[in-house]
Amino acid sequence: MNEKLEIGIEQRTKELQLSEEKFKKAFQNLPLAIKISSPDDGKIIYVNESFLRLMGYSKSEIIGRTSLELKLWNNLEERTQIIQQLKQHQRIANQEIKWCTKSGKIIDVELFGEQIDLDGKTRILLIGSDITQRKKAHRERELRKVHLQFQQVVMMELFQCPEIQNGNLQAALQTITQIAAHTLNISRAGIWFYNQECSKITCSNLYELLLSQHSQGQEISISEYCTYFKAIENEQLIAVENASTDPRTQELSHSYLHPLGITSMLDVPICSGGKTVGILCLEHIGKPRTWQLEEQNFAAYLAYITSLAIETRDRARAETALRQSEERFRQLAENIESIFWMIDPHQQQTIYVSPAYEKIWGRSCQELYHKPLSYLGEAIHPGDRESALTKMTQKFQSHQDLEYRIIRPDGEIRWIRDRSFPIRNEAGEIYRVAGIAEDITERKKAEKTLQHRVELEQLVTSISTQFINLNADEIES
């Protein structure tokens, strides 16, 4: 009976030892860092391999010592609070703390802990999960979110920037490069434009962040860097982490990148009028930089704003030229005696008539603007009206040169020479008719006087001839 009991006890002991060995093995190989210590003196009794790897210690360096001696806790107040909670039989779960490794590196740890009974003694069990990378990734996401929000604010303000809207291109370029450098924290931000032959590009504005200064004028020959410029032409954007080794930019290394210390590039073509006219160059100096998607999008927006500034400048120039042209035309039209006019043949309305109309016709320009073209017929002399109006309708299709009389409101009759020509749109359709009318009354009077003189001379000549012939007949008889 005793022998059987001893055999059973021995077998049970072996099973417990085997179970304990399996538990220790599993405990030792857990990926979580485990530390068991005494609640009385704080000495560390047991740690697993994951704890040693995480903290950088060997087992002999850590067993029998306290966390205070090893300076494991980055925040001692936090340690005291957690130990007190555990001694009061409160469990700790999902609490984020910071531990300090042997090398002095601060790591983020998600901590689980409780007070346990081990071999009949009270112990404190702490299980830690390294969340340093997770916290870093979270901080980076939050930082990127803040940067993105800031970029969105900058984008809105930049779109409304007076320098962009008023056509002052050089001031706009300075604003764009400076905002690019500060927002993306890059060393150099430049805007380059192709020359007319597309044989070189010239820097129109370069902002250097460390120097806080703008410059311009540097030139680069396109034929020397064919691969880079081909990439610019074919790709919407070039984001290069290592510019010296990237096939698209490495040919710039010797003459451009290395002398300036440029390691990373973010370049975007600038388009206007359906073609590439320049390049926005964002250049990083220092450790190679990976360009985030939101940074690439921001660079593309800056290139778009640059295109908008170019178009605004061109539009402002065109408007200025138009105003100058209109002013020259106005001065010409208002200071000559002939009448410039333009009509819309479809709407039968006067678009423009010069001030000389009032002097010659004796009627108001405003009155002509507010009445249909048929109103012109009322001023034409009844003897010329039918012929003139018939030819006027024909002048919408071809050049015309008319002469007719008008009757002014004061009853005075004047002769008018009216020349006109049609204006066609891009489709070849006549949409305007323009012309010039002049007062030829004095010329007509001179012609009439001359004709009267010619007739008088003819009459005198005829009378003289008849008188001579009469005398000759008398002499013969």
Q: Higher pLDDT residue, 19 or 348?
A: 348
Enumerate the β-bridge partners of residue 424. Answer: 430
Rg for the chain (alpha carbons), in Å? 49
**Residue 105 phi, psi (nearest 5):** -75, 135
Q: Where are the alpha helices (DSSP H) in 189-292?
A: 226-234, 258-260
Q: Average pLDDT for residues 209-217, to the nearest whole number?
A: 94
- The angle that helices 132-159 and 293-334 make with each other, rounded to 10 degrees, is 0
CA dist 185 → 73, 86, 180, 327 (Å): 35, 47, 8, 48
Q: Higher pLDDT residue, 270 or 456?
A: 270
For residue 223, pLDDT over 60 is answered with yes
Residue 143 pLDDT level (bands cut at 50, 70, 90): confident
Q: Average pLDDT for residues 24-35, to the nearest whole number?
A: 75
Distance spanning both ends of the chain, measured CA to CA = 204
Q: Average pLDDT for residues 430-440, to the nearest whole number?
A: 88
Structure-block tokens of residue 455: 């007739």
Among 22-36, 249-263, 446-460, the least confident range: 22-36
For residue 218, pLDDT over 50 is answered with yes
For residue 352, pLDDT over 70 is answered with yes
- Burial of residue 178 (CB within 10 Å: 0-12, 13-18, 19+) is middle
For residue 325, the 8-state DSSP code is: H
**Residue 271 phi, psi (nearest 5):** -115, 145
Structure-block tokens of residue 15: 């099973």
Contact 191, 278 (CB under 8 A): yes
Q: What is the pLDDT of residue 349?
A: 84
Q: What is the pLDDT of residue 394?
A: 65
Contact 417, 337 (CB under 8 A): no
Q: Average pLDDT for residues 125-133, to the nearest whole number?
A: 90
Enumerate the β-bridge partners of residue 122. Answer: 117
The pTM of the full predicted model, rounded to 2 decimals, is 0.56
CA dist 457 → 120, 445, 450, 469, 471 (Å): 155, 18, 10, 18, 21
Q: Minimal CA–CA distance to 340: which of 407, 414, 421?
A: 421
Structure-block tokens of residue 248: 């698209």
For residue 331, pLDDT over 80 is answered with no
How far is residue 270's CA from residue 267's CA, in Å, rounded to a whole number?
10
Q: How far is CA 140 from the centre of its chain?
A: 27
- Burial of residue 354 (CB within 10 Å: 0-12, 13-18, 19+) is buried
Q: What is the pLDDT of residue 16?
A: 45
Q: What is the pLDDT of residue 324?
A: 83
Report the SS3 class of residue 236. coil
Structure-block tokens of residue 391: 């030819």
How far is residue 443's CA from residue 67's CA, in Å, rounded to a whole number?
119
Among 16-25, 67-76, 376-385, the least confident range: 16-25
For residue 276, pLDDT over 60 is answered with yes
What contacts 61, CB < 8 A, 6 or more positions away? Answer: 102
Among 126-130, 251-255, 368-372, 408-412, the least confident range: 368-372
Q: Minimal CA–CA distance to 210: which of 184, 182, 183, 191?
A: 182
Half-sphere exposure (Cβ direction) of 183: Cα atoms closer than 13 Å:
28
Q: Average pLDDT for residues 48-77, to the nearest whole number?
A: 92
Among 257-261, 302-306, 312-316, 471-475, the least confident range: 471-475
For residue 398, pLDDT over 80 is answered with no
For residue 314, pLDDT over 70 is answered with yes
